[in-house]
């Protein structure tokens, strides 16, 4: 069975991630798999630093024993905290809608978890920033770029606060990735029945207009209300401005492309869009 796989931590984005998951689960009538990854514990060295022969064997053994017990206590507290985060998040979600939520506490690495759960995942939801977000307002989560790189499923990156979503902007460049995004929207998507603004940023040519028109026509055939925009300029600046000017609730991107948008999660373009756009972002692989 496919799930919406939702990753939470202790950041201020966790509540928003849960609310986005409720919205998606209700629209797709799909269960949610709620995951908290503990991360790799900092290992305590078996060799205390700079002993210089100063500790007797007995003192050294006692110190190592204390360090080992402290390490085990930290691990136990981490599991307890993780379970509490999952329980609170699940309760928040169930209070909003009648949806199926399962919880998972995992050791290891976020990227490993994304890859291992991929076979049962329809798409991933993750926060824009992690637990250090309160101290780094202009920085994205340290794992975000790598998480999107490794995922072969769409990734919905939640903004700080959830708001109802009715209109989205799809940055289209005619690349395989954005063509796949169009295909996914046509086949069936959480975005079905939302108003679509389709924007192509580049040189205004008949070929570019034809590509844009073809993409818009494919979406209209399955019921999307589509408005086309063909613009020139720097993609990140034009798209960021369009998000505001068009009052869209969601930005949709492909992970790679043939134009400057091929910098998505390889260079700066999408990272800039993620940093400065105040709406959630859905990235298609």
Is 100 domain-assigned? yes
Kindly state whether residues 22 and 157 are assigned to the same domain.
yes
Is 272 domain-assigned? yes
Kindly state whether residues 157 and 103 are assigned to the same domain.
yes
Instruction: Single out the residue in 128, 162, 196 at which a domain terminates.
Output: 162
In which domain, by residue range, is 170 found?
164-280
Is 285 domain-assigned? no
Kindly state whether residues 169 and 156 are assigned to the same domain.
no
Is 11 domain-assigned? yes
CB-based contacts of 223, cutoff 8 Å, min separation 6: 192, 193
Kindly state whether residues 20 and 139 are assigned to the same domain.
yes
Q: List the pLDDT tens digit at each of the 285 positions of the chain.
A: 799 999 999 888 999 999 999 999 999 999 999 999 987 654 444 444 444 455 566 666 777 777 778 877 777 788 899 999 999 999 999 999 999 999 999 988 889 999 999 999 999 999 987 665 554 455 555 678 788 888 899 999 999 899 999 999 999 988 888 888 999 999 988 999 899 999 999 888 898 899 999 999 999 999 999 999 999 998 888 999 999 999 999 999 887 644 444 444 344 566 677 777 889 999 988
Kindly state whether residues 142 and 51 are assigned to the same domain.
yes
Is 206 domain-assigned? yes
Kindly state whether residues 104 and 138 are assigned to the same domain.
yes
Q: How many domains does the chain contain in total?
A: 2
Per-residue CA distances from 126 to 2, 49, 73, 181, 204 (Å): 17, 38, 29, 19, 35
Kindly state whether residues 103 and 191 are assigned to the same domain.
no
Q: How far apart are CA 58 and CA 71, in angstroms?
A: 20
Kindly state whether residues 82 and 1 are assigned to the same domain.
yes
Is 107 domain-assigned? yes
- DSSP sequence for 78-98: HHHHHHHHHHHHHHHHHHHS-
Kindly state whether residues 123 and 178 are assigned to the same domain.
no
284 strand-pairing partners: 254
CATH code, 270 = 3.40.50.620
Per-residue CA distances from 107 to 78, 112, 169, 271 (Å): 10, 10, 36, 28
Kindly state whether residues 45 and 64 are assigned to the same domain.
yes
């Amino acid at each position: 069975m496919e799930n919406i796989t939702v990753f939470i931590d202790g950041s201020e984005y966790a509540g928003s991630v849960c609310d986005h998951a409720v919205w998606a689960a209700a629209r797709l009538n799909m269960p949610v798999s709620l995951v908290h990854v503990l991360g790799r514990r900092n290992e305590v060295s078996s060799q205390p630093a700079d002993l210089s022969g100063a500790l007797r064997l007995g003192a050294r053994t006692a110190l190592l024993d204390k360090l080992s017990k402290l390490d085990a206590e930290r691990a136990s507290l981490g599991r307890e905290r993780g379970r509490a985060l999952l329980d609170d998040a699940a309760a928040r979600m169930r209070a909003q809608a009648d949806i199926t939520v399962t919880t998972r506490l995992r050791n290891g690495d976020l990227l490993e978890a994304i890859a291992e759960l991929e076979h049962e995942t329809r798409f991933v939801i993750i926060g824009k920033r992690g637990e250090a977000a309160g101290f780094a307002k202009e920085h994205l989560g340290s794992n975000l770029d790598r998480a999107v790189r490794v995922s072969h499923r769409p990734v919905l990156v939640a903004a700080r606060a959830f708001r109802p979503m009715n209109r989205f902007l799809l940055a289209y460049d005619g690349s395989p990735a954005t063509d796949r995004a169009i295909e996914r929207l046509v086949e069936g998507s959480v975005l079905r029945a939302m108003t679509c603004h389709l924007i192509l940023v580049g040189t205004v040519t008949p070929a570019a207009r034809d590509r844009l028109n073809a993409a818009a026509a494919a979406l209209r055939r399955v019921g999307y209300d589509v408005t086309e925009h063909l613009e020139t300029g720097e993609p990140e600046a034009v798209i960021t401005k369009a998000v505001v000017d068009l009052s869209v609730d969601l930005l949709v991107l492909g992970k790679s492309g043939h134009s400057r948008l091929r910098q998505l999660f390889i260079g700066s373009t999408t990272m800039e869009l993620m940093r400065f756009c105040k709406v959630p972002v859905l990235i298609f692989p």
